Amino acid sequence: MKFTVHRLLSVASNWMIRSQAYKIVNRCHVRPTARCNRVVEGKSSSSQEEGLFQCKAMPKYKLIYFDVRGRAELSRLVFAAACVPYEDVRIQTNEWITLKHTVPQKVLPVLEVDGVQISQSLTIARFLSREFGFSGSTSLERALVEQLVDCMDDLRAEIAKWIHEKESDKKANIQTNLYESVYPKFIGILEHYLSENKCNSGYFLGEELTLADLSVFETWTLPLENHPDLFNDHPELLAHRKRIENDDRLSHYIKTRPKRSV
């Protein structure tokens, strides 16, 4: 009897997990993204939904980082996609010596939300993507989005070896390895996910832009600058990149952001 009840419970929970996954893969259940027109100056979209008598001011956001794309650019792209204003503080190297002692983990980026400081670039990007609707609406959807963000972080770690290497011979070897082995591996992974998206939306998950799309876009910026031919035989990835570049919410930011090598 105990066994039967256990079996029934296990079948029921497997069914629930499968049906949830089915919703994402086949019915594109990723929550609609934040649109520019949902944001009214001084009010968050959620406060508008709460009604007239509960107007909460939109938090004041300040993103502090160095004057490069680096580990802050994904969050900057989330702000741009959400059309949410923030203070983009770009500090100079000589200012860092003083500032370092004032930030909790002694590294940047730091996001301040109404004065509360948050460290760790991916924590910040995930937080913002949840706030503005780019993260999926269930735990499972969030996991599907985040697995790609973490996958791009693995790629970023490989690229960082090239960025930080000072010796020219070693740098050249790393670059060859990236081009011949690392990039093809990650291109294969990304093509797999794009082709798995039953919505055929051109985004990585569901029908709408998510943090995963922004992360892929940002992480490949440097590799494509070094090797403009990288996606030549990968039309879906090329189309994905164009989709992000031409997105109404993002195109102005991408065209006008400070040009930096990293």
* Interaction of residue 107 with ligand GSH, rule CB under 6 A: yes
3-state SS class at 203:
coil
* Interaction of residue 108 with ligand GSH, rule CB under 6 A: yes
Q: Which of 162, 183, 203, 220 is catalytic?
A: 162
- Catalytic residue list contains 71: yes
135 in Cβ contact with 142 (< 8 Å)? yes
* Cα dihedral across residues 81, 106, 116, 98: positive or negative: negative
HEC letters along 215-237: HHHHHCHHHHHHCCCCCCCCHHH
**Chain centroid offset of residue 85 CA:** 18
3-state SS class at 51:
coil
* Interaction of residue 100 with ligand GSH, rule CB under 6 A: yes
* Interaction of residue 120 with ligand GSH, rule CB under 6 A: yes
In the list 69, 71, 142, 241, the residue contacting ligand GSH (rule: CB under 6 A) is: 71
Residue with smaller CB distance to ligand GSH, 76 or 241: 76
In the list 39, 64, 69, 70, the residue contacting ligand GSH (rule: CB under 6 A) is: 70
CA separation (Å) from 219 to 183, 212, 222? 11, 11, 7
* Interaction of residue 260 with ligand GSH, rule CB under 6 A: no
* Interaction of residue 110 with ligand GSH, rule CB under 6 A: no
- Catalytic residue list contains 15: no
* Interaction of residue 121 with ligand GSH, rule CB under 6 A: yes
Stretch that binds ligand GSH, among 8-16, 80-88, 118-126, 210-218 (CB under 6 A): 118-126
CA separation (Å) from 261 to 154, 163, 221, 222, 233? 20, 10, 9, 7, 25
Stretch that binds ligand GSH, among 11-19, 114-122, 191-199, 240-248 (CB under 6 A): 114-122
Minimum CB distance to ligand GSH, residue 218 (Å)? 13
Cα–Cα distance, 206 to 243 (Å, whole number): 15
> Contact residues for ligand GSH (CB under 6 A)?
70-71, 100, 107-109, 120-122
